[in-house]
Structure formats: structure tokens, C-alpha cells
């Protein structure tokens, strides 16, 4: 598990999301683009499965920049999957077990409190292709 130990990021100039996405190749390994108050704005390239996990005390916001993201949810009423196409947003409420999956190469933007682990507070075994991190600085 890797964690970002840097202080909050506040860019001195605008950040081009296409350029930021082009600066790394790792899947399921978010980069922190900027911070807003106590929240990180992260971008990630994703494809295939993430892991079932839950954030006990924070919601998780997803915006699909390119591609398609599916998010399986385990809710009191049962399981369901939401499908997000380019330009779609969805917020997973805190305490909801969920598993993101991208059937095609996808770029996403996430908005969550600084220090939030990508695999939540509780999760299944983490495969090698998923980076358990609080985000990495843009390189």
C-alpha cells in the first residue's frame, strides 16, 4: 500500500486534464490534480475490475472523462449496477459497498476528502493491479 505524504496541492497555474492524464500510464492509481479545502481532486486511468470496498465516513464522487465506468453497489434493497458514460457523474454514499469496473480504457475524476484510501476502510483482497493509495502527486 502506498500513501501520499505530501501537503495539499494548490497549482499556481491551470492544469490541463488531457495533459495530466497523458503524464502517467498506471491503472487504478490516481493522481492528485489539485485540492479544494480539505478535498482532493484526483484523476485516474482505469480498466477492468477494482475491488469491493466501502468508505465508512465519506461519499465518493465519480465523473467519467472518457470511456465507460460501471459501479456495482450493494445496498439494503439488494445489488445493482450503475453505468456511467462520458460526462456522467455519480456519488456513492458513505457506507455503501461498491466495486468500480471499466469494460474499456476509461479516464475518471474523483472528488473525496484528502487522505481517503482508494480501497476504502474495508475491502476484499487487493490484487496487484489496484494501487491502495491516498493519491500520488502529478509528475
Prediction pTM value: 0.88
| Predicted confidence (pLDDT) per residue in 81-94, tens digit | 999 999 999 999 99
CA distances from 118 to 12, 48, 101, 110 (A): 26, 15, 14, 10
Query: Which CATH architecture group holds 29-131?
Result: Sandwich (2.60)
- Domain parsing of the chain, residue ranges: 29-131
Cross-strand pairs, 84? 69
| Predicted confidence (pLDDT) per residue in 57-68, tens digit | 999 999 999 999
Cα 12 to Cα 45: distance, rounded to the nearest angstrom: 24
Contact 8, 110 (CB under 8 A): no
* Number of Cβ atoms within 10 Å of the Cβ of 15: 13
CA distances from 82 to 30, 55, 109 (A): 21, 18, 16
Amino acid at each position: 500500500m502506498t500513501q501520499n505524504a505530501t501537503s495539499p496541492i494548490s497549482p499556481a497555474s491551470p492544469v490541463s486534464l488531457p495533459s495530466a492524464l497523458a503524464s502517467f500510464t498506471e491503472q487504478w492509481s490516481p493522481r492528485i490534480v489539485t485540492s479544494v479545502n480539505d478535498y482532493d481532486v484526483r484523476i485516474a486511468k482505469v480498466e477492468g475490475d477494482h475491488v469491493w470496498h466501502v468508505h465508512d465516513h465519506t461519499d465518493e464522487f465519480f465523473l467519467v472523462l472518457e470511456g465507460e465506468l460501471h459501479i456495482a453497489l450493494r445496498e439494503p434493497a439488494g445489488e445493482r449496477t450503475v453505468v456511467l458514460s462520458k460526462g456522467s457523474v455519480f456519488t456513492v454514499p458513505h457506507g455503501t459497498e461498491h466495486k468500480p469496473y471499466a469494460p474499456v480504457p476509461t479516464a475518471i475524476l474523483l472528488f473525496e476528502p484528502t487522505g481517503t484510501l482508494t480501497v476504502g476502510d474495508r475491502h476484499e483482497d487487493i490484487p496487484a493491479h489496484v494501487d491502495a493509495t491516498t493519491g500520488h502527486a502529478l509528475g
